[in-house]
Amino acid sequence: MTRVDFYVLGPQARGDRYLLACRLTEKAWQQGHRVYLHTTSEQESRHLDRLLWTFRDGSFLPHGLAADAEPAANPILIGHADGVGDEHDVLVNLAPGVPPFFSRFERVAEPLDQDPAVRSAGRERFRYYRDRGYAPTSHDITR
Percent over 90 (pLDDT), the chain: 86
* Nearest CA among 16, 82, 85, 93 for reference residue 51: 16
> What is the residue-averaged pLDDT of the chain?
95
The structural domains of the chain, with segments of one domain joined by +, span: 3-141
Percent over 70 (pLDDT), the chain: 100
The predicted model scores a pTM of 0.96
Instruction: Note the pLDDT of residue 138.
Output: 98
pLDDT in tens, 67-125: 998 999 999 999 998 878 899 999 999 999 999 999 999 999 999 999 999 999 999 99
Instruction: Note the pLDDT of residue 4.
Output: 98
Exposure on the CB side of residue 62, measured as CA atoms within 13 A: 12
Q: Is 133 left (phi over 0), alpha (psi -120 to 50) or beta?
A: left
**Contact criterion met (CB below 8 Å) for 112 and 122:** yes
Tell me how far apart the alpha carbons of residues 112 and 84 are, in angstroms, rounded to a whole number.
22
Tell me how far apart the alpha carbons of residues 51 and 116 are, in angstroms, rounded to a whole number.
23
**Contact criterion met (CB below 8 Å) for 136 and 5:** yes
Q: Which CATH architecture has domain 3-141?
A: 3-Layer(aba) Sandwich (3.40)
Instruction: Note the pLDDT of residue 75.
Output: 97
| Cβ atoms within 10 Å, residue 134 | 17
